[in-house]
Structure 1
Amino acid sequence: YVKPGIYEIRLTAKNYPDPGLYQETVKSVTVNADLLKVFDLLEADGYSLAQRNTEMKIGYQISVPMKVAIQIFKPGTTIYDYQKGTLRNPTTGTEVKDIHEVLVKAIVGIRPATTLIEESWDGRDYAQQEVPDGTYPFRFVTALNSADIDSVTGEILGSDDSSTNSAMWSIDKVADTYEYQNLHKATVAIGDGRFVCEDWEKTVFFYPNPLRDASKGTLEITKMPVPGTVSIKFFNLAGDLVRDSNYTCVDANNYQVTMGSSLQFNPDNTPEGSTQMDAEDLAAFPNLRNAALRCRWDRTNQHGKKVARGVYFGLVDFKAQNGREHCQKVVKILVP
């Protein structure tokens, strides 16, 4: 199948068997070919998820067999450059260079033509954690060659959107460019405030565990349902307090802040006094699971000295700003 565009069909008639006997006749017709389409979508963006343990259906058809990816993005993500189809980071307002800055989840597969296709999204991100309420933009990425789309992120492979050569741009490999350049919207309205402690406790964990490399110890909170105050304390097996402050923490938008004895946190805003991480810092402390907040523990006590080998307990405390919920979670950590 050819790419969408304007094509000239030229018919040439020559004398047979002697082509030189008469002058050849040429007839040309210009046609507009647009064979590669995603169609039968909802006319309005009525995609929504309003109940826990249910799924949102995205129904559509495609004109020819293609590999299709539905990329779901963080709320506020928009198109940065329509010509290229690049994205805008809602936090920084800059062009997205790494899709993990804004990607929540991708649904990817090879799909058949001219039959109803229904994709399901259960309101979870690629770490299988429930996302907060909000409006999540999504788009279709399509390609005739299945090798052109990454099966995990839905990104176009082997392209360079920073190139001055438009043939190197991702959009050059996309089958339906309109659906690549335009975002649909899905609304998640489960009600974060109804299950605060239940949601929060399920998403608190420590890795790697056992903690062998002190530079990688991370206490992570994947979901922060409502604004509130977070504090972290570490105890040894005897119950003695080892550390209770001065952790380096990073939010979902990669803004870094030092947590004192506690941290006021609002999932809709960056922490007060925080600064955005640069590429080098982010490479050393990546957001692997789309976490709301991640904090480093480097196996040191309150005085900066390395702790002895043994079992430690991290007590993570969360007090909701509304004053109604007070949640705690204890994680056990082995320091070999």
Structure 2
Amino acid sequence: MRQATPQLVTAATADAKQKVTFMIYPEIPKDNLGGNKLGYFNLKLKPNAEKTLKIKVFNPTDKPIMVNVSAKDVQTADDGRIDYLSDDPVAREVLTDPGSQYLRFKPNVVVPPKAQKWVRARIKMPAVSFKGKKALAINLAAMGPTGGSINNRYVYAVGVTLNGRKLPRKELHHLEMPTMQAGFVDKQPALQFKVTNPDPVFLKKGHLSIKLTNQKLGFFNYKLDLKKMHIAPNSTFNANLLLGGKRLVAGRYTMVAHFKSDQYQCQIKKTVQITKTDARYINEHNPDYQKRRRILLTAITICVLLVVISIYDIRKHGSRDSKND
């Protein structure tokens, strides 16, 4: 999410030589929680209240541009990062009452060359006030020519937080970790822990530590430590324990997870299973482990050969010495 300043906000691409397609300036209202220079909309509205949010769009190019407008419910990306732009479907079993349903807007706005237009989004609050927070973003996207056959897609996300009734601490359900599975993350073998925030609150400055310990052979264990996590309200994501060159061992494990944030701290303890099928498949498709395994086997082979040669040499010299005697 880009934060607004008293000036127009400009877009950028990976190539600094590319021309900017459009610029935006959110008009933050005076009653914005945290002030009107916060950079995003942070509102507390009464039931049935209506409010129009305004974002100025400026087109500095010589051609008209089509700006596509959408509303996204904020999600949590893997390992604990707020995600305003995700196209992945929202977990409706966790976010049963999404904030995006309260926004109405035109899906497309055409901005003439060297001109500006307002994008307006109208909020209509429900008749009954909800508890906690609803987090969403107004996304503005447009395509920009690069001078070649590929176009750049410029996207802005302007955050919107809707504040309902305060959620009492005693009503918090706390972080949950319902499942774990072995898989691949960006082609890297990993143990993926599903993490759920069932509460309508932001969890800030989170620290999650996880340890798996084999119940039969305790020296087989796996650890994950994630810090500075930010978790969106009513969201789910994966905490990924990358295996690197470590061998995945099948068996029954005790999982102990500790979580601490600005809001609360909790512990989760449960038993998880790593099957022989999963362990075999992961190990066979783990190049780092296979490389370490080859090096280890080579080292063992060399050591065995050295021992055999030494024994042979000792016996050979020993037999000569006995003959000389």
TM-score interval, smaller chain = 0.3 to 0.5
| Structure with the bigger percentage of helix | 2
Relative to its length, the structure with more strand (as a share) is 2
In our comparison, the structure showing a higher alpha carbon Rg is 2
TM-score by length of 2: 0.35
